[in-house]
Amino acid sequence: MATQSIESIPAISRIAEIQQRIKDIQRTFGIKISDNKFQATLEQEMEKIKPLPKVKPIEQFLAENKLPPVNENAEANAQRIATILKSEDKATEAVKIYDSSGIDEKISKSASQIRTENAAPTATEEMIEAAARHYGVESDLVKAIATAESNMNQEARSYVGAIGVMQLMPETAESLGVDPYDERQNIEGGAHYVRQMLDKFNGNLKNAIAAYNAGPGAVQKYGGVPPYSETQNYVGRVLDFYVK
């Protein structure tokens, strides 16, 4: 038995498809198609088939959707961007990478605008920024504490009576001269208290965070983060949010 060449297999397969199609047409029309009718009938059938939609060239699709072009550095650039997007100045750094990739200036600017718009601060974040500036504290640190405390939710209440975004205890709020039920004052009181703890522990970040959770007395008693699982986990969560 002769061995079929690789080139002949697709052709044979196609012939089988055509033969099956002829049988289907014959069944559909209830007639036997003679050779002289085959071409005309086939053309009629083909006209009934909807053409496939035209697909835009990939370059056009990417440009219209303000996406970077595909190139030999795409994978490396994606990894670099993913890393940079975790940094503090996300929009600026991302644009630097896009620019260094040789992307059209207009697309780079559009990417920057999209990232800036997506990163627009909420009203709560704006209050945190203002309070942090007022008390000379890093806004990212205040945000991290607010996230760990309440996920930045003014409606949050703890089982021990802590209130709002910064989870201020009523007595702490009173000592700071703020109304904890007012979101802006709650945030201002929290930022003020963070400033106090940083000053009390000479800028030691872990101790200040621990004191926010367990109180300065506990930190002084143990000479650092107290051996309370809640406080130790709290410090870890805040630092995790802070570095991100």
List, for residues 77-94, the tens digit of each pLDDT value.
555 555 555 554 444 444
CA pair distance 149, 145, nearest whole angstrom: 6
What does the pLDDT read at residue 159?
87
Give long-range contacts, CB 8 A cutoff, 24+ apart: 162-169: 165/124, 165/128, 165/190, 166/190, 166/191, 166/193, 168/193
Q: Write the DSSP string, 179-190.
A: -TTSHHHHHHHH
Residue 62 reports pLDDT greater than 80:
no
- Residue 149 annotated among the catalytic residues of the structure: yes
Give long-range contacts, CB 8 A cutoff, 24+ apart: 6-10: none
Higher pLDDT, 136 or 86: 136
Residue 28 reports pLDDT greater than 80:
no
What does the pLDDT read at residue 201?
97
Average pLDDT over residues 46-59: 57
Residue 174 reports pLDDT greater than 80:
yes
What does the pLDDT read at residue 68?
55
Beta bridge partners of 163: 157, 168
Closest CA to 85 of 125, 57, 116: 116
The angle subtended at Cα 81 by Cα 143 and Cα 141, nearest 5°, is 15
b (16+ CB within 10 A) / e for 80-99: bbeebeeeeebbebbbebbe
Q: Are 227 and 197 in contact (CB under 8 A)?
A: no
What does the pLDDT read at residue 157?
93
Confidence of residue 243 (pLDDT cuts 50, 70, 90): confident
- Which residue type sits at 10? P
What does the pLDDT read at residue 148?
95
What does the pLDDT read at residue 202?
96
Residue 110 reports pLDDT greater than 60:
no
Closest CA to 205 of 127, 138, 126, 159: 138
Residue from 17, 75, 149, 183 carrying the catalytic annotation:
149
Q: Which pair of tokens denotes residue 156?
A: 């949050």
- Rounded to the nearest integer, the mean pLDDT of the chain is 75
CA pair distance 146, 241, nearest whole angstrom: 10
Q: What's this model's pTM, rounded to 2 decimal places?
A: 0.53
Sign of CA dihedral 130, 131, 132, 137: positive
List, for residues 191-236, the tens digit of each pLDDT value.
999 999 999 999 999 999 999 999 999 999 999 999 999 999 999 9
What does the pLDDT read at residue 101?
41
Q: Which of 80-89, 105-114, 121-130, 161-170 has the lowest mean pLDDT?
A: 105-114
